[in-house]
Amino acid sequence: MAASNEWETQYLTSDGWVAGGFKHDSGNKREDIQPQGAVLKAYRKVVVGQLGAPSSMNVDESQRELIRDKYLINSLLAKYGQPQFGV
């Protein structure tokens, strides 16, 4: 069993990064619903082993394009940067 197992999603839109779903160890969670106009989905999951040592931490980050317009995605990334996750 992990000491911590949390995840979070964010979506890039023309207005910037929008929070998606999440699950925190505290029990707080929100269903992941893609907002209107999203062009990119970013996901981060952090699992810390039972000992809690830094070497037992596993971070999984990924991004998935939601549209085929790479120019638009890249211009929004240049404008808003990478997502800032809370987990």
- Residue range 17-54, pLDDT digits in tens: 999 999 999 999 999 999 999 999 999 999 988 765 66
Whether 32 is covered by a domain: the verdict is: yes
Whether 86 is covered by a domain: the verdict is: no
Q: What's the pLDDT at 52? A: 56
Indicate the helix (H) or strand (E) that contains 75: helix 70-80
Whether 55 is covered by a domain: the verdict is: yes
Identify the domain containing residue 65 by its residue range.
4-80
Whether 87 is covered by a domain: the verdict is: no
Whether 57 is covered by a domain: the verdict is: yes
Smallest CA-to-CA distance from 85 within 62, 51, 57 is with 62
Whether 26 is covered by a domain: the verdict is: yes
As for how many domains the chain has, the answer is 1
Query: What distances in angstroms separate CA 38 from CA 12, 57, 67, 72, 80, one per listed residue?
Result: 6, 30, 8, 11, 13
Query: Can you tell me whether residue 14 is helix, strand or coil?
Result: coil
Whether 43 is covered by a domain: the verdict is: yes
Q: What's the pLDDT at 41? A: 98
